[in-house]
Amino acid sequence: MKIIDIKGFQEEIIERSDYPPEKIKEILKDEVTAILGYGPQGRGQGLNMRDQGFNVVIGLRKGRSWDKALEDGWEPGENLFELEPAARMGTIIQYLISDAGQIALWPMVKSCLNPGDALYFSHGFGIVFREQTNIVPPPNVDVLLVAPKGSGLSVRKLFEAGRGINASWAVHQDYTGRAKERCLATAFAIGSGHLFETTFANEVNSDLTGERCVLMGLIEGAFRAQYNVLRAHGHSPSEAYNETVEEALQSLYPLINDNGMDWMYANCSTTAQRGALDWAPRFEAVLTPLIEECYGSVRAGKESQLAIDANSRDDYRESLEKELKEISESEMWTAGRVLRPLRPGG
């Protein structure tokens, strides 16, 4: 592990070399990890553990997810079970179904917990907003969190590439005295690259804010705004899409990811450099209060309640598909589907 210093703020980073495979297997040798759910996180984390030889079972309802698990080589009665039998087998229960699904299944999962078991989350939602979810673990279990900083698809892809995704970790409840080592061992067993410590509350507050802002909501809104302005001023769909989305995602953002924004400023034209430096503070000034409002709504539990209420509606799936269809059929993303295959090698 190493201590990093960022302008006087020190953090401990735990690296994969701190938890080599033999150490992880020693810590987890008597554990059965039961993963409930086979969405992107459940699938990615489960396959990564299975590939490394850990004792892992999947718990699912029969249906599309069950069929996907069969395609991935999980064997019914061996390492693939329905939800309750899998939960009863687990000494570490990875609760990786949707937030709404966790609320509905909590009475069953709670009944399957034995003293000394560990209840594992990849999101702090259920625990932090317990007044809304009613998810309150019994006091005689460990409660752990490992939150990969990316989708379950990335968890799997980066593991297969021999790298690993960074993740945060937290212990909410340490009944056994071994909660930290169980948490960290499992974090590397699922394919993490390095770890930084958080709390359940900090994880969920930052995660929900990020999803609504720069990870998805804000970026989609910014793309729409610029694309629509360019189109309104007579630019073609191809030009508007390339200047808004294609150049950002294919050219500039990967360079920023690799080298930082300071490097980007130093390696672009003086015209682009001057314009970006002048306009960035104006966008910051406009966006800071909006992001602050979003963070306040998250922390107050308003966003979690909105999500719970929406997912509880009988027509939610139908309504969601309508919203997603509107995005899919918008001119900007229609242009994307037409133009992406024209990339070299596409």
Catalytic residues: 123
Distances (CA, A) of 127 to 33, 134, 195, 248: 20, 8, 21, 37
Contact of 340 with 252, CB cutoff 8 Å:
no
DSSP letters spanning 99-156: HHHHHHHHHHHHHH--TT-EEEESSSHHHHTHHHH-----TTSEEEEEEESS-HHHHH
Q: Both tokens of residue 121?
A: 């989350």
Helix H or strand E encompassing 171: strand 165-173
Backbone angles phi, psi at 93, to 5 degrees: -100, 115
Backbone angles phi, psi at 252, to 5 degrees: -80, -45
DSSP lists the bridge partners of residue 195 as: 14, 167
Q: How many residues does the chain have?
A: 346
Contact of 116 with 141, CB cutoff 8 Å:
yes
Amino acid identity of residue 340, one-letter, is: R
Strand pairing report for 33-36 and 92-95: parallel
Q: Both tokens of residue 45?
A: 């984390």
CA distance 65 to 39: 8
